[in-house]
Structure 1
Amino acid sequence: MTRNTPRDLGRRRFLAASVGLGAASLAGAAAAQATDPYSGQTLERTGPAGATPDAGVVQYDTSDTRRNQSSFRMHDWQQYFDNLNNGAILVDLTSRALSFWSEDQSVFRLYPTSIPVSDDLTRRGRTEIIKKVEGPTWSPTPEMKRRNPDWPDFVPAGPDNPLGTHALWLSWQYYRIHGTHDTRKIGRKSSNGCVGLYNEHIKELYGLTKIGTQVLLI
C-alpha cells in the first residue's frame, strides 16, 4: 500500500487548483471572443437549461447546433476520380472533412474542415487548384460587402486575416481552401463559401498539392 505524505497531498491539491484555474481562464477567454467578424455570426455559450457549464467546456451555438461536429467517413478515390494526375482532393461537406491523395498514392491525408453557413453559399462539383499563396491577404467579395458594408475593404496577411497562413485558389471565382486563425470554426458551418482548415493542416496540404491538383466537393 502506498502512503501519501503531507508533501504529496499538498502537491496534488496545488495541481488540482492549477488545472481548475487554467480551465476557468480558458472558458472566460473563449466567452469573451463570442463574435466572428468575418462570417457575421454571433457565437453564444450554450448548455442545458438551468445547468452550470463545466469549467473549461465552452460550446458555441450556430443555427445548426445539433450538427456542429464532424463525422469522418473514409472514401476510396476511385469512386470519385478517374485518375490521380496531379493528386486529388475530395471535400465531403456532410462529414466536414477533406481527403487528399498524392499522384503516386504514397500519401493520404484526412483533415477536419469548416464549411459554408448556408446552402445558398455552398457549391459542389469539380474544380482544381489554380494558385497557391503563403501569407494571403483578404478582401470581401462584392456580395459580402453588400451584406456587411462595415467590413474592411482589405485585410493584410497576419493574425487578423480570415484566410489564415496559406490559401489554395480554386478555378471557381472567390472560392478557396484556406487556413483559419479562429480554431472554433473547424467542424462547423462558419464560412461564406470557402473550405477552412487548421493552419497546421493547410500548411501541410499546401506543401502536398500543386497547380492543377483535382478538387471535388460533394
Structure 2
Amino acid sequence: MSIKLTRRQAMLAATATATLATPGILRAQDVELTRRNSSSFSMQDWRDHFDDLGKSTIVADTVSRALHYWSADGSDYRVYPTSVPLTDALTKRGYTSIVRKKVGPSWTPTASQMQRYPDWKPIPPGPENPLGTHAMYLSWPAYIIHGTHDTRKIGRRSSDGCIGLYNEKIAELFQLCPVGTQVRVI
C-alpha cells in the first residue's frame, strides 16, 4: 500500500526532519529569517488609516511587504504579497489615490533612473517590461502599483519606488479597484 502526501504534508515532514537534525543555533537563525519572510504580514485595519472606505481602499505596508485591499462596503478584504522599494530613500509614504489604470503598460525610466543608469531605454508591453501586465498609476508622479514578470522580486526590497505584485494578483486587484481608490503607503 502506498501513502500519498500532499505537497504541504511533504514540506512539513521535510522541515520537521531538518529541524530535528539542526543544531539549536542554526534553528534560531532560521526563526529570524522567517520573521522577515513575506508571509509574516502585519495585519492592518482600514480605520487606522482612513475615515471611510471610499470607492475602495488600499494600504501598502512596506515593512511587512503586503498590500491590503478593502471593497467600498467592507465586505471584501484581501491581502497580497508585494515587492517594495530597495531603500527608504526611494520609498514615498503617505496618502494618494489611483488616478489611471492601464492593461499592457509600457515602461519609461524616470529622470533619476536615467542619471543612475544612462543606458536604460523605454520598454514596450511584453515579457521584458518591468511593469508586468497591469499598472495602476498613483497621484504621485512615477509611483505605480503594478505587476511583474520576475516573480523573484515579490516579498523583497527590489523596486525603484513602486509596489509590485504577481501578474495574476495585479490582474485581480486591477478589476477590484476603480479610479479614485484611496491608497496609503506606510
Q: TM-score range by the shorter chain?
A: 0.7 to 0.9
Higher relative contact order (Cα pairs below 8 Å, separated by 6+ residues): 2
In structure 1, stretches of 5+ residues that fail to align are 5-64
Residue 145 of structure 2 is matched in structure 1 by: 177
Residue 85 of structure 1 is matched in structure 2 by: 54
Residue 187 of structure 1 is matched in structure 2 by: 155
Shift of 1:69: 2.2
**Length-normalised TM-score, structure 1:** 0.69
Q: 1:192 to 1:145 in 2, by over 3 A?
A: same
Map 1:42-61 onto structure 2 (within 5 A): none
Residue 44 of structure 1 is matched in structure 2 by: none
Is the CA contact (8 Å cut-off) linking 1:115 and 1:190 kept in structure 2? yes
Deviations 1:12-48 (A, max 9, x none): xxxxxxxxxxxxxxxxxxxxxxxxxxxxxxxxxxxxx
Does the alignment pair 1:112 with 2:81? yes
Provide the secondary structure at the position in 1 that maps to 2:47.
helix
Map 1:1-218 onto structure 2 (within 5 A): 2=1, 69-70=37-38, 71-152=40-121, 154-218=122-186
Letter in 2 for 1:128: S
Number of aligned residue pairs: 155
Deviations 1:133-163 (A, max 9, x none): 00000000011011001111x1000000000
Q: 2 CA distance for matches of 1:93 and 1:183?
A: 17
Residue 12 of structure 1 is matched in structure 2 by: none
Letter in 1 for 2:141: Q
Q: 1:150 to 1:67 in 2, by over 3 A?
A: farther
Letter in 2 for 1:202: I
Letter in 2 for 1:81: F
Shift of 1:97: 0.1
Greater C-alpha Rg = 1
Shift of 1:68: 5.7
Deviations 1:149-189 (A, max 9, x none): 1111x100000000000000000000000000000000000
Is the CA contact (8 Å cut-off) linking 1:68 and 1:189 kept in structure 2? no
Provide the secondary structure at the position in 2 that maps to 1:201.
helix
Letter in 2 for 1:211: V
Provide the secondary structure at the position in 1 that maps to 2:114.
helix
**Length-normalised TM-score, structure 2:** 0.80
Q: What value does the CA root-mean-square deviation take over the aligned residues?
A: 1.6
In structure 2, stretches of 5+ residues that fail to align are 3-32
Q: 1:121 to 1:217 in 2, by over 3 A?
A: same
Is the CA contact (8 Å cut-off) linking 1:68 and 1:188 kept in structure 2? no
